Amino acid sequence: MKIKNPVVKGFYPDPSICYAEGKFYMVCSSMQFFPGVPLFESEDLVHFKQIGNVLSSLSQVDLHNIPSSGGVFAPTIRYNNGRFYMVTTNDSLHKNFYVYTDDIYGEWSEPIFVDQGGIDPSLFFEDGKTYFMSNGDDTDGRGCIFQSEIDIETGERLTEPRPLWNGNGGRYLESPHMYKFGRYYYLMAAEGGTEFGHMITYARSANIYGPFTPYKGNPILTNRDFGGHQTHIMGIGHGDLVTNSEGETFMVCLGFRIEDDWVPYHHLGREVFLIPVKWDGEWFTAGVSGNVYEEMDIPVDSMVKPGTPDTDYSISMPFNKDDRLRLSYVRDYKAENYDITDDSITLTTTEIPLTKQDSPTFVGVRQSEFDTELSVNVTKTLGEAGLTIYMDDNEHYDIARVYVPEKDMHEIIVRYQVGDATAISYREKLHTEDVVKLIITSTSTEYEFAYSINGQIRKLCKAQSKYLSTEVAGGFTGVFGGVYATSKVMFGYEDYDVNPGEKAVFTEFNFRQG
C-alpha cells in the first residue's frame, strides 16, 4: 500500500512507539510546551489520533523559566506486564525520569527519577529485569551508549552503568533503543545531529551487554545526501521499531520538510515518518535503499480499514474534547489566566510579553500544514491581544489589537520579532470599538497579515517564513498558531504598561490547515 509521509505532521519530534492490546501507541517530545509528551493511538500506523498528553500536571514536570527548546526531550514508550511506561529527560534540569499508567486513557503516575546521566533514555524488559539506557561520553571522551539495570518500582540502580557501543563514527550519538529478535539483541541509535546530516545506525550482539557488532551497511536510514529537488524530506533520524501481531516490523522516525526545492529551511518542526523494514537473515534494512520519500510502499494493507479519512489538522470553535487535547501553553500553565469554553477563549493579561523567557498568557496549536488560514475575533480590551505565529521567545510574528494609553485609542499593529530585532511592520489607528477579526494566512514560504471589520478585509503586509525556521531561530521546535494577551504593549521604541488583570475575549477561533 502506498502511504504519504509524514504520517503525523507538525512539531511532533522524536517519536517512540509500542504495540499493546491490538493497537499502536506513540509519544513525541514537547520541549518547553505544556502539557508535555503528546500521546497518540493508531490501529494501522497510518492514521494517528491524539488521545492525551502523558505529562498533564505541573507536578510531573518542572518547566519554570526553562529556555526555549529545553525541557522534555526524546520520550520512549514501552509496555510490560499490562503497564505502560514513558521515560524521558528534563534536559534543562539534567534529570531522567519515567511515569507509568495501567490505563492508557487515564492519568499517569508522578515521576520516578533514575540516577543515570545522559539524554534520550530508554527501557528494555526481559525475564523480570528492567534495563535503562541513555547516551553519554566514555573515558576517552567519545559518544557512547550506557546501560544499567534498575528496580522498576523505585528507579533505583541495581548495577553501575556499563558502556555498550560507541556508534558508527557519527557525531552526537543518541536515541538508543534495545530490541530482541530471535537470538540477538539489537541496539539502534541516531547519529549526525538532528539536522541535515541526521542518520540511524544499529548493531547487534548475542549478549545484552555486548560486544555489539555494527551493521556493515550503516547508516541504515538517512537523507543526508539529498537535495530539495530530489525530495523535500530531510533530517531523517531518531527512529523506533515496532512489531505488530503478525510479526511484521516497522519503523517510525523523525524528519522535516523544507520549504521549497532550493529553500533549505524548515519551520513546521520535526515530524513523524513511517518506514518499511525488511529482514535479510538476521540483519534488517529500512526505507528505499536506506532513504525516505513522501510516498512509500509499505505493507500495511491488512491493517488499514477502507474509507478511513486522512488526518485533518484544522481546528475551530466550537471546541470538542479532541480539540482541547491539542491546545498548548508555554512553560508553567497558570490556570487562573485562562477561561476556555467551547465557544470562546478569555485570557487575563499579565506583564509577561511573548518575548520573555517566562509563561506569557498564550494558547496555541501546532501548525501542521504549509497552506493555512488562522483567524479569530477579538473584542476591545486594554493592553494587547492578538494572534501570533510563534516559534519561540525571540522568533514570532504577531498581529494585535492594542490600547495606547498615551493617546487613549486602539490600534492594529503587525510586529516581527526575529532574534534581537523588533520591527513594527504595520501600525494603524482603529476607527471602531466593534469586534475585529484578525487573520494570518500562509504558504510554505510566507505569512500574510490582515484584519476584517464587518466583513471588509484589509490586507496589511507579508513576512518570510524562513525567519521562523530552525535554521535561523535555532532550537528543536516548530511553529504554533495561537492567541495571546499581555498588559505590556511593545513597539520597540515606545512601550506601554497597562494595568494587568484585564480580560481579552476571543471568539470564532479557526485554524484551517491544508
User: Hey, which residues are catalytic here?
Assistant: 14, 174
What is the four-CA torsion angle of 133, 179, 109, 15, rounded to 10 degrees?
90
Cell of 109: 503516575
Beta strands 33-34 and 329-330, pairing class:
antiparallel
Q: Who contacts 348 (Cβ-Cβ below 8 Å, separation ≥6)?
A: 336, 337, 338, 361, 485, 500, 501, 502, 503, 504
Please report, in angstroms and rounded to a whole number, the separation of the first and last CA atoms in the chain: 23
Alpha-carbon distance of 352 to 438, in angstroms, equals 22
Nearest to 155 by CA among 122, 202, 115, 104: 115
Nearest to 133 by CA among 142, 141, 476, 144: 144
Give the DSSP letter of residue 472: H
Alpha-carbon distance of 349 to 419, in angstroms, equals 24
Cell of 159: 548495577
Nearest to 312 by CA among 48, 51, 507: 48
